[in-house]
Amino acid sequence: MRGLAARRPPACAESGEDQEEVRLIALAWSRSGDKGNLSNIGLVARKAEWLPLLWSRVTPERVHAYFAHLVHGKVERFYLPGTASMNLLLHEALDGGGPSSMRLDPLGKGRGQMLLDMTVPVPRSVAAEVRRRS
């Protein structure tokens, strides 16, 4: 079975390096939408080698806390093998969803962009690389 994408999420080897806060938009792209009263966010690492770092920092608990004002259910996270990405599923996140929702974004299309504004701690070397790339 060599050559197949790993089925388990990548482990992040902590370097012991000092950390610096960086906005997710510097590390990933996103796409979001709805599934009834669920909102889903696809998060794709800008560099495949950053996925372990993102996996360790963008946890269901952290995402739930970030969206606490909008999400009333649990947050699930799924690894997407071979794509340097993950999918986040936010339950009870759309006030009923679609036409029954009174929210400004009843389909959750802006949730991915909102998530990209969240900051995460990264090693200083990654933060420096992000600054060089921008």
CA 98 – CA 45 distance, rounded (Å): 29
Where does the pLDDT of residue 1 fall: very low under 50, low under 70, confident under 90, or very high at 90 and above?
Answer: very low
Interval 123-128 mean pLDDT: 93
pLDDT value for 28: 98
- Structural domain boundaries of the chain? 28-133
Separation between Cα atoms, residue 15 and residue 35, nearest integer Å = 38
* Verdict on whether the full-model pTM lies above 0.95: no
Say how far apart CA 6 and CA 10 lie, in whole Å.
8
Weakest-pLDDT range from 33-42, 82-91, 105-114: 105-114
Q: Which residues face 122 on adjacent strands?
A: 20
- Which helix (H) or strand (E) element contains residue 30? strand 28-35
- Overall average pLDDT of the 46-68 stretch: 96
